[in-house]
Structure 1
């Protein structure tokens, strides 16, 4: 029969192995991208039981890890390390598991995935709890809890809260443990997670039993048992029956305790892990020993020893021989008590040796894993260096050819460039000359305005006017020291000028300045005083002669491609009527400011070899009558950076 079962097991294992390699080969044909990483992780979960039983590392997760390293895909690395760490923990390799989960934390943080970060911290906390590193486990779970609460990740909140409760339970901080188990229980109930509900009810029972509140502990054990019966969970049932047996033993109700322990023994036949069978035999033996039924007690303890010896449960053997020693001592058989105690100590030493060996093996595993990772990184680096070398040789060849070509053509362009630079310097000198003409002209016009204003208005308003004029003069003196100024400085001086002209004209017009929101007026540059002559022209030749409704002046500045487009629109009388008025007054001279500015714009166009110019458009109403003028000034866009 055993041979048949063994043969069937080998056939099933061979079939699983064949399916795994077929699946792996089909995935390897896919392009190396993040989708392939996700598929490897998912397929690895499907075959995780096979790899856990067969002992080797999960091939799919290893492949996902290496591909993520090549792609520098942080999220894929975090997922792969999480899965590999949990797999190692399931094999009791807690040191390796902690190392892998710490790497998962690092890459999850690089990916910025809060759910993954919280999950990795919880995993590392469980690893530390299994090693009795309670403070470090507490820190990991607390960190996971804070992150999970920030994003309302209920699953990880439950795991972290339950784990912190278990740490407090181990440390015998029962009040804190109860608070955390209560919160975890509420969350599991709201999520309809029956298994989580059963676990937390049982944990609350342990906490209340620790406080010697045995009746309350029994209530919670029974509630947990009811849920485990509902979901048909044999492991949970066995745990609850054993817990109830221990509680009733403590209450000295030995009959009820025995009833529950025998139920635990019966249900353990359905549990794959036979350590629970050994535990049930041992608990019954201890209960009988407490009642003074030594012969019967020793039979059950011996059954625990037999099962533990067959399956190699050293920790259970240590406890069983310890119980035998206590039983012999209580019956006065000190020699047998000493023999049993010696065997218990032998198993304790063996367990310590196993732990030391396992710790050493795990540290060696960590070293090997890190060494392989470094080898992969080194190979990737060498591959990249070789590719760069090849590219460098190709670039060098083309660069040499290009250099020879440039050497041939360079002489011609050098001479041409030298001539262009000479022309450019000449144009810049002309531009500076025109700017020096512009500034005295504007100052003269402004002083004339102040003179007329003082004679026609009271002293208080004249003082206000002079204050604004002095600010404007300071800005003009500052701005005109430079070929270009920041747009916000130019707008500030333009607003001051418009405020002065509005005061001077008794508020016969209103103005609006609109700058495109896409323009950073601190970074965009504009020639100083380039807009003022056109604004002045709009006021004094268009708006002051308007008699019907109020004058409106609208200034708009937008950025189109690499050009700064400035539009000055007024609803004045138009150019035709303005010319007629000038003819009647005998003032036929052209504005010096307009001429100078047109000259500046023409020179800017020549220097920059870009579009620059002025377009004047006469506006008409629906009846075809003059309705104002629109001046569009196009300048090449200049920036500070």
Structure 2
């Protein structure tokens, strides 16, 4: 909304009209009955049959929808569409009533927050600020339940605007500041702009002009970044009023002109009138009465295109005061009287207070004391009337809030009584079924206890089988290693044999230590594997090179795996693939952990499985690898113990671009344990 003066000659304040109150519904009436009952009330006040029929068709279409959150949103949307219809009939919005009732049944807090925001804004637009604040506070309460910071910031800003209208600046500041903190946390630019602009207006009202300027400048930057011309025009005007309050009139005029240009570009006549009046007042402060009169006359000319006639009365009053300063008393009195006539026609009581006060001052200046006294009496009469109206309005709104709360309490009390009766009725049924349920629980509990005990026995059996397989694994490895040492000693010199035996003894010590445990740290397994590869490389006269790659995110001290689980596949890759290559071979071992699974990939560029089998048949060897058979048995038991379908071994034959064998890839997937 564009800023406008609340009274001629007073400081301008901005009203931020945004976001969205409550209607209370008796829970023992059906929602459909409430809607039709509301329509009967509106029809009784003289509603047009056409509008009534259209609203009823809307209700029928909505009641064809399931009673879910989609219906709540449809009710809120239709309530917004027909808001003017219900306001004209001076009755509660039936769509929003049902939206509240259905949201309460569904415990749909977002629906309650949205509808209370709509109702609160509706009350505020009718100047029922006390009710509006009460409803917007309820919207904020339900918005907190949704944990939606955007909705909560919107509701808090709404409540802040209500309290600014009530001149409760401390409470208004608190709500807007909370909204600003939330909006900044989620980068909600719309609510940041609203909160910042509102805080600026609060500080301007409180006379903290420098602080207000800082807030308006921040809001202006945000509106410019969002390319919002209306927000830009509002903040430029606000800055003008702040600088005018600091008596920096030239700077104020510059901002008013920039705001005027923005409003002219939008063709916003209300904003144009406000800027003309502001410029007139500013030039009047500079005692440039000619320029001031030009702007006030321009405002009067544009007023015909503005619906709110209070601006016309304001312009006539401003012109009258300007003429009075120039000593043109007859013309001044004529313009002031014109302001009085328009204000009386449209019922602008606050404007009548100021207009009659101006007339009283002008009659006094012309020494017409009788008329001055009469005008002063009129001003005081309207001032008292305003106070009475405000008191009556506030009292009526407080009565409404009290009635709503009383009805809510009655509803809660009735609901509690019904719940107590229902509980008493169900108590006997519960007692009857409790023994049956207890008996069933005993049977089910016994079944699961026996099943759990059997599972523990089976798991223990599998662990014993696994230890037995480990016992087979280690002698097999030691036998192969001793055979290698034997061949190495006979084919090499004593110095290299000593080096080989030293590494072998270290490896044996690690094997004896590791095989005492079901799981060992990954770094220990890799250390023993590296010793084994060094021995095999010496044994094969460095016929291959190897690389072990462990993912960066793996901590070898924390990851636990079964001991000697990778070695058989490495051994197989060396003796059935790499040693038969005419050139130097390469062995790659890659390890990664995802969740509670470890994937170990052993890749060689050997001769491939098919050619290895042919060589084996030509040599007449029918021996099957004991290490591979034992390891496969271990993996099968690990799968059963952990109930892990992902545990497996896959062997892939690699080929080059021409389809020739290029080696073998073995992928082993195992469950792992962690120290922590």
State the TM-score, normalized to the length of structure 1.
Answer: 0.68
Equivalent of 1:574 in 612, 633, 650? 612
- Between the aligned partners of 1:567 and 1:220, the Cα distance in structure 2 is 72
Aligned to 1:549: 583
In the other structure, the counterpart of 2:161 is: 126
Q: State the Cα distance separating 1:92 from its structure 2 match.
A: 1.9
Alpha-carbon distance in 2 for matches of 1:11, 1:213: 55
- Show the counterpart of 2:28: none
Q: Against the structure 1 CA distance between its residues 518 and 197, is the aligned structure 2 distance closer, same or farther, given a 3 Å change threshold?
A: closer
How is 1:6-405 mapped onto 2 (pairs within 5 angstroms)? 13-71=48-106, 73=108, 75-102=110-137, 104=139, 119-120=154-155, 122-134=157-169, 137=172, 159=194, 162-174=197-209, 195-196=230-231, 199-200=234-235, 202-214=237-249, 217=252, 221=256, 233-253=268-288, 257=292, 261=296, 264=299, 268=303, 271-287=306-322, 289-291=324-326, 301=336, 304=339, 308=343, 311-323=346-358, 326-327=361-362, 348=383, 351-352=386-387, 354-356=389-391, 358-359=393-394, 361-362=396-397, 365=400
1:557-611: per-residue Cα shift (whole Å, max 9, x none)? 8999x9999776653673564587797xxxx998775665566567668878998
2:503–2:531 CA contact under 8 A, matched in 1: no
User: Would the alpha carbon gap of residues 243 and 601 (structure 1) be closer, same or farther in structure 2, given more than 3 Å must change?
Assistant: closer
Q: Which residue of 1 aligns with 2:22?
A: none
Aligned to 2:571: 536
The CA deviation string for residues 209-256 of structure 1, in whole angstroms up to 9 with x for no partner, is 334454565565566557666766554454344334433443445566
Q: CA deviation at 1:149?
A: 7.5
Partner Cα distance (2:284, 2:98) in 1? 53
Change (3 A) 1:145 1:258: same
Contact 2:193 2:219 in 1 (8 A): yes
Secondary structure of 1:206's aligned partner:
helix
CA distance in 1, matches of 2:523, 2:449: 38
Question: Shift in Å at residue 445 of structure 1?
Answer: 6.5
- Deviation, 1:315, is 3.0
Alignment partners' CA distance in 1, 2:96 and 2:261: 38
> Structure 2: which 5+ runs fail to align?
1-43
The Cα of 1:634 is off from its aligned counterpart by 8.6
Give me the whole-angstrom Cα distance separating, in 1, the residues matched to 2:556 and 2:463: 25
| Secondary structure of the structure 1 residue equivalent to 2:85 | helix
Q: Distance in 2 between matches of 1:638 and 1:121?
A: 51
Structure 1 residues 174 and 380: alpha-carbon distance in aligned structure 2, compared to 1, 3 A threshold: same
- Which shifted more, 182-191 or 282-291? 182-191
Q: Partner of 1:432 in structure 2?
A: 467
**Superposition deviation, residue 91 in structure 1:** 1.7
Residue 14 of structure 2 corresponds to none
Q: Where does 1:506-521 land on structure 2 (aligned, <5 Å)? A: 507-511=542-546
List aligned pairs for 1:413-452, cutoff 5 A: 428-436=463-471, 438-439=473-474, 442=477
Post-superposition offset of 1:39: 3.4
Contact kept? 1:165, 1:177, Cα under 8 Å: yes
The superposition leaves residues 429-460 of structure 1 with CA deviations (integer Å, 9 ceiling, x where unpaired) of 4543443454566568768979979954499x
Residues 163, 484 of structure 1: alpha-carbon distance in 2 compared, 3 angstrom cutoff: same
Change (3 A) 1:351 1:513: farther
Asked whether the 8 Å contact 1:449–1:504 carries over to 2, the reply is no
Cα distance, 1:380–1:273 mapped onto 2, change above 3 Å: farther
**Deviations 1:463-494 (Å, cap 9, x if unpaired)?**
9958x947x956873x54544567x5686456
Which range moves more in the overlay, 268-277 or 589-598?
589-598
How much has 1:89 moved relative to structure 2?
1.9
Distance in 2, matches of 1:229 and 1:408, equals: 80
Q: Aligned in 2, Cα 1:611/1:313: closer, same or farther, shift over 3 Å?
A: closer
Q: Is the 8 A contact 1:483 1:527 kept in 2?
A: yes
1:315-358 deviations in whole A, cap 9, x for unaligned? 33443454455456656788987786677566556545554554
Distance 1:263 1:600, change over 3 A: closer
Question: Quick one: structure 1 residues 569 and 376, their matched pair in 2 at CA, closer, same or farther if it must change by over 3 Å?
Answer: farther
**1:51 to partner: Cα distance:** 3.4
Q: 1:487-498, aligned counterparts within 5 Å?
A: 488=522, 492=526, 495-498=529-532
Alpha-carbon contact 1:265-1:280 (below 8 Å) kept: yes
Tell me the alpha carbon deviations over residues 59-116 of structure 1, each in whole angstroms, 9 at most, x when there is no partner. Answer: 3344444445555555544543433332222122334434544555566677676765
- Matching residue of 1:5: none
Q: 1:73 to 1:552 in 2, by over 3 A?
A: farther
RMSD (Å) for aligned C-alpha atoms: 6.2
Q: Deviations over 1:122-174 (max 9, x none)?
A: 44443343233446655655676677788887655655555455445434555
* 8 Å contact kept, 1:154–1:187: yes
Q: What is the TM-score with the length of structure 2 in the denominator?
A: 0.65
Contact 2:485 2:501 in 1 (8 A): no
Compared CA separation, residues 416 and 356, structure 1 to 2 (3 A): closer
* Secondary structure at 1:529 match in 2: coil
Contact 1:198 1:228 (8 Å CA) reproduced: yes
The structural deviation recorded for 1:16 is 3.0
Answer whether contact 1:618 1:626 (CA < 8 A) is retained. Answer: no
2:665 and 2:282 map into 1 onto residues whose CA distance is 96
Distance change in 2, residues 1:630/1:103 (3 Å):
same
Residue 343 to residue 281, structure 1, CA distance change in 2 (3 Å): same
Secondary structure of residue in 2 paired with 1:92: coil
- Distance in 1 (alpha carbons) for counterparts of 2:436 and 2:481: 62
Larger RCO (CA under 8 A, 6+ residues apart): 2
